[in-house]
Amino acid sequence: MGRVYGEPVEVQTREDGRPTGFTWRGRRYTVTAVQEYWLVNRNWWRESSPLPARPELEFWRVEAGRPAGTYELRRDIAAGTWTLRRIAD
């Protein structure tokens, strides 16, 4: 399944929210293709903060970088933050 990171990353997106590139550990990656896109509610019942208006997390599985690798990016819609979740082998 690859390596799991869970590190914050900086992501550039198109207007429709699709990532075009991201910067991770000082290196810039350009997104060449989106393989998958899906949504899952956050674990809102474990959180003490008030419920956000949009409780979803957005997942993008993309091809990026050279040589091409598969990366899974997660966006917390409420907070607007991105995380690099894992890198596929």
Partner 1 sequence: MPGPAQFTHLHVASSYSLRYGTATPAALAARAASLGMPALALTDRDGLYGAFKHVQACADVGIKPLLGADLAVSQGGRVTLLATGRQGWGSLCRLVSAAHAADDDVPAVTLELIAEHAAGLVVLLGPASDVGQAVAARHPDLARRALDRWRHLVPGVAVEVVDHLDHKSTFRAARLAELARDAGVPAVLSNAVRYLDPVGSLAAQVLDAARHLVPLGSPKIPPHNGRAYLAGPDDMTVVAKRVAAAMTGPGTASAAIGLLAETDELASRCMLDAAYDLGVGTHHLPETEGSAYDQYKELRDRCEHAILHGRYRTASAAGRPRGVSRLKAAQQARDRLEHELDIIARTGMAAYFLTVADVADRVRNAGIRCAIRGSGAGSFVNHLLGISAIDPLEHDLLMERFLSPIRATLPDIDLDVESARRLDAYRIIFDRYGAERTACVCMMETYRARSAIRDVAAAMSLPPDEIGAIAKAFPHIRAKHITAALTELPELRRSRLNDAQLATLFGIAQQLDGLPRHVAMHPCGVLLSDRTLLNRTAVQKSGEGFPLSQLDKDDAEIAGVIKLDVLGVRMQSAMAHTLAEIRRTTGMRIDIDAIARDDQATYAMIQRSETIGCFQIESPGQRELVKKLAPRDIADLIVDISLFRPGPVNSDMIGPFLRTRHGLAEPRYPHENLADALKETGGVVVFHEQVLRIIDVLTGCGLPEADLVRRHLSREGGPERTAPWFRAQALARGFDPVTVERVWQVVAAFGGFGFCKAHAAAFAIPVYQSAWLKRHHPAAFYAGVLTHDPGMYPKRVIIADARLSGVQVLPVDVNASSPDWMAEDQGNPSSGTDASTPATRPSPLGGPAAGRSPARKLMESSGPLQALRLPGRRPPEPAASPQAIRCSLREVKGISDAEIARIVAGQPYASLRDFWNRARVSRPVAEHLVLIGAFDSLYDIPGFPGAPNVRVEPRSPAPYPPAPYPPAPCLPAPAAPGPLSPVPLSPVPRPTRRDLLARVGVLARQSSPAREVTPALDLFTSVGPEAGDGMADLVPAGQLRELDPAERVATELEVLGFDVSRHVMSFYADLLAGLEVVSSAELPGRENGEAILVAGAKVATQTPAVRSGQRIIFASLDDAAGLVDLAFFESVQDRCAARLFGSWLLLVRGRVRRAGAGPMAVTVNGYECWDLPALEEIRVAGGMDAVRAAMAVGDVGPGTHQPLPPAAQATDVAAAGSADPAAPVTFANGFVLSPYAETGGPGGNLKHPPRNLWHASPGSTATPN
- With CB under 8 A as the rule, give the number of residues binding partner 1: 19
Torsion of CA 52, 55, 56, 57, to 10 degrees: 60
Residue 43, class by beta-carbon neighbours within 10 Å (0-12 exposed, 13-18 middle, 19+ buried)? Answer: exposed
Return the sign of the alpha-carbon dihedral for residues 71, 45, 50, 56. Answer: positive
Binders of partner 1 among residues 54 to 73 (CB under 8 A) are 54-56, 59
Nearer to partner 1, 38 or 81 (CB): 38
- Pattern of binders to partner 1 over 12-51, x per CB under 8 A? ------------------------xxxxxx-xxxxxx-xx
Site for partner 1, rule CB under 8 A: 36-41, 43-48, 50-51, 53-56, 59
